[in-house]
Chains A and B, each alone.
Chain A
Amino acid sequence: MDVILENLPLYWNGFLRTLFLSAVSGVIALVLGTLLAAARVSPVAALRGFSTVYVEVLRNTPLTIAFFFAAIVLPRLGVKFEQFEVAAIIALSTYTAAFIAEAVRSGVNSVPVGQAEAARSIGMNFGQVLNLIILPQALRTVVPPLINILIALVKNSSVAGAFFVLELFGYGRQLANANGDAVIPVLLGVAFFYLLLTVPLGILASTVERKVAIAR
């Protein structure tokens, strides 16, 4: 256990970096995913097609491919960045957005079609129907699956550790290498700090689920 206590500042640093990676990627993924879901239900066929292809490709390929693409292919295409963190955020948010798009789409489909018809019949345009009527009702049913996706995002951010981004898992690996005799406590410490992020998210999910159920 000493190895954890001695390296607490390092753990804490890694924890904060994981939190940062997850929070930034999470926000971008939420925005991008909601836009993709809106495109998926829009009356414009080209938008629907783009969204479908995007979601199917990103959802059905491993996260590491997204990382390789962001870290190696993008710079060759001329998209250069100073830090690997940027690549990690691009990979994590584009990948997670696909899952969020699917969750939001299923939430949109859970709102009875009559709600949209009533909104259209009082003269609302597509954007108003979506923003004022459908999404507020859809998001309530979507919150629990969204939080599941965010928990997965926190854990997925560890892949960044393999791409030279120092976050919780990256520091954990350094510590494990430096303390070959105490690998198990080192990894337990890493797991503990991940739980510190993901368990509250899970609790939040069940609280929100109980609070936002709407009567029909």
Chain B
Amino acid sequence: MTTHVPGDALVSLNAVNKHYGQLHVLKDINLQVRKGEVVVVIGPSGSGKSTLCRAINRLETIEGGTISIDGKVLPEEGKELAQLRADVGMVFQSFNLFAHKTILENVTLGPIKVKGVPKATADKDAMALLERVGVGHQAPKLPAQLSGGQQQRVAIARALAMKPKVMLFDEPTSALDPEMINEVLDVMIQLAKEGMTMIVVTHEMGFARKAADRVVFMADGQIVEDATPEEFFTNPKSDRAKDFLSKLLTH
């Protein structure tokens, strides 16, 4: 548990709805995340948690309701949306590092091209970030030359380089070999301790217990529970959550 005091709602979802054809994948989602809060979203696969995460920076469009970041409602496709996205860091399950750019360029591209930061400054900041996530010595390499865990840490550095107000993590450790999961989680825990606002979709219950301020449990496109990790793991209220947790604990 972190000790910082959360402020106003930084990310706010109100009555958000989305369908994939017949499938109602997000049903009247309401979620407020305050500044400095770490919210972990868990739930069975197909529950809509990834879609929720992707909707927050409009990689998925929504059909009803509103999503706002720091008081501003997500605009339609265009210049304003690009500006808003720069304030929202995103880390993907499959890393998605730019395959034709070096590790350093992956981190500096956003600041240089989107924010107009001079190259020398961007390089210096990027090196500091890469050192911070423990891959500084990999800077001149191409993404394919790094392990999955290293790539994901670079992806975190790339998102941080934009100095985002909030970081979204969409199953950041699901594509990793077991021995690489901790190196990524350690970086995320450190980030949480430093007060970054984070929304994390994950299956890592250890991370949820350790770093989350709140656990949001989703099933069938709905938020079923929204509680502190302590409450959720020791005393889940819904049958759906009890069922989900019992399945986890049997392994």
Give, as a whole number of angstroms, the nearest-CB distance from A104 to chain B.
Answer: 16
A215 near B113 (CB under 8 angstroms)? Answer: no
Q: Which of A8-16, A78-86, A116-124, A194-202 sits within the interface?
A: A116-124
B100 near A120 (CB under 8 angstroms)? Answer: no
B114 near A128 (CB under 8 angstroms)? Answer: yes
The yes or no answer to A137 lying at the interface (CB within 8 A) is yes
Complex-state Cα separation, A133 to B109, whole angstroms: 10
Complex-state Cα separation, A117 to B158, whole angstroms: 13
Q: How many A-B contacts if CB must be within 8 Å?
A: 72
* B 130-152 binary contact with A (CB < 8 Å = 1; else 0): 00000000000010110000000
Q: Given the complex, which residues of B lie within 8 Å of A118, measured CB to CB? A: 90, 92, 96-98, 155, 158
The listed residue (A115, A120, A136, A137) touching B85 by CB distance below 8 A is: A120
Chain A contact residue count (CB 8 A cutoff): 22
* B 64-77 binary contact with A (CB < 8 Å = 1; else 0): 00000000000001
* B 97-126 binary contact with A (CB < 8 Å = 1; else 0): 111100000000110011100000000000
The yes or no answer to A46 lying at the interface (CB within 8 A) is no
The yes or no answer to B212 lying at the interface (CB within 8 A) is no
The yes or no answer to A214 lying at the interface (CB within 8 A) is yes
Count chain A CB atoms within 10 A of each CB in B85, B86, B99, B145 and give the residue with the most.
B99
Complex-state Cα separation, A122 to B155, whole angstroms: 11
A122 near B158 (CB under 8 angstroms)? Answer: yes
The yes or no answer to A57 lying at the interface (CB within 8 A) is no
The yes or no answer to A125 lying at the interface (CB within 8 A) is yes
Chain A contacts to B: CB under 8 angstroms: 43, 112, 114-115, 117-125, 128, 132-133, 136-137, 140, 214-216
Mind listing 27 A-B residue pairs with CB under 8 Å? A43-B77, A114-B94, A114-B96, A117-B59, A118-B90, A118-B92, A118-B98, A118-B158, A119-B98, A120-B59, A121-B59, A121-B88, A121-B89, A122-B109, A122-B159, A122-B162, A123-B115, A124-B114, A128-B113, A132-B109, A132-B113, A133-B98, A137-B100, A214-B100, A215-B144, A215-B145, A216-B99
Chain B contacts to A: CB under 8 angstroms: 57, 59, 77, 79, 82-83, 85-90, 92, 94, 96-100, 109-110, 113-115, 142, 144-145, 155, 158-159, 162
